[in-house]
């Protein structure tokens, strides 16, 4: 990713929300990325594009539609939190406090199913990816990969440093929409204990 982004990511996210609002379920899929938005529609539904270009929308109300989520996080399930602390030259408690004070924004979803790339990581917590990726990372794991942070909303292999885990199922194939986080969503964290994690939702 060496080319400069010519379109601010906020614009991409805002346009994505507007397109979803205008076309709703008649659109088969929509894939926003750093400087483009791909629309998927069924054959013969080309009129959707006309509908979109002729739609009159006000973007003033849009800022209100940015989702803000507060996710519970258990740092005791952060498999690599000690390594991050050592790498950053600070204590584990400082790692936790710095991480808790941040607000993170979902930039892109993908790479592996349900993986949420986010910005907003305090540079003090930046930590290179693990040289040996794990074959299995539990759902809800929150990781740091270099300057980026992300959530493995589904279990998958991965090489990021896991600093905590949320008990929430951010991705549920039976829910509509299946993900509660979308690109542009703002995420902050609330600390929970291991006991609270284990009994979450019971």
The answer to whether 201 contacts other proteins (rule: CB under 8 A) is no
Q: How far is the CB of 150 from other proteins (least distance, A)?
A: 11
Q: How far is the CB of 90 from other proteins (least distance, A)?
A: 32
Question: CA-to-CA distance for 63 and 198, rounded, in angstroms?
Answer: 35
Window 22-61: contact mask with other proteins (x via CB under 8 A): ------xxxxxxxxx-x-x---------------------
- Determine the 3-state secondary structure of 44 from DSSP: coil
Angstrom CA distances, 82 to 17, 90, 126, 129, 161, stand at: 39, 10, 13, 14, 10
Nearer to other proteins, 158 or 164 (CB): 158
- Determine the 3-state secondary structure of 162 from DSSP: strand
- Tokens describing residue 1: 């990713």
The answer to whether 5 contacts other proteins (rule: CB under 8 A) is yes
Per DSSP, which regions of the chain are E strands? 29-32, 37-40, 68-73, 104-109, 115-119, 134-137, 141-145, 148-152, 156-158, 161-165, 186-191
CA dihedral (96, 100, 106, 110) positive or negative:
positive
Nearer to other proteins, 5 or 21 (CB): 5
Please check whether residue 17 is in contact with residue 9, taking contact to mean a CB–CB distance below 8 angstroms. Answer: no
Nearer to other proteins, 152 or 189 (CB): 152
Q: Kindly identify the residues of this chain, within the stretch 97-116, that bind other proteins according to CB under 8 A.
A: 108-115
Q: Kindly identify the residues of this chain, within the stretch 149-168, that bind other proteins according to CB under 8 A.
A: 154, 156
Q: Kindly identify the residues of this chain, within the stretch 179-198, that bind other proteins according to CB under 8 A.
A: 179
Q: How far is the CB of 122 from other proteins (least distance, A)?
A: 24
Among 86, 126, 178, 188, the residue binding other proteins under the rule CB under 8 A is: 178
Residues forming the site for other proteins (CB under 8 A): 1-3, 5, 28-36, 38, 40, 108-115, 154, 156, 171, 173, 178-179
């Amino acid at each position: 990713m060496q080319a400069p982004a010519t379109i601010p990511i906020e614009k991409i996210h805002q346009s994505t929300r507007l397109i979803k609002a205008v076309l709703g379920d008649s659109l088969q899929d929509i894939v926003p990325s750093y400087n483009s938005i791909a629309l998927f529609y069924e054959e013969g539904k080309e009129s959707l594009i006309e509908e979109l270009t002729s739609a009159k929308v006000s973007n003033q109300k849009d800022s209100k539609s940015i989702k803000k989520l507060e996710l519970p996080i258990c740092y005791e399930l952060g498999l690599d939190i000690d390594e991050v602390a050592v790498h950053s030259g600070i204590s584990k408690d400082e790692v936790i406090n710095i991480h808790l004070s941040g607000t993170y924004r979902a930039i892109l979803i993908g790479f592996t199913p349900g993986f949420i790339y986010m910005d907003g990581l305090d540079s003090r917590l930046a930590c290179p990816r693990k040289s040996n990726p794990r074959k299995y990372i539990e759902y809800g794991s929150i990781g740091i990969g270099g300057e980026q942070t992300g959530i493995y909303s589904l279990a998958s292999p991965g090489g990021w440093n896991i600093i905590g885990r949320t008990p929430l199922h951010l991705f549920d194939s039976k829910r509509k929409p299946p993900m509660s986080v979308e690109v542009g969503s703002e995420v902050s964290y609330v600390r929970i204990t291991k006991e609270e994690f284990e009994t979450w939702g019971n």
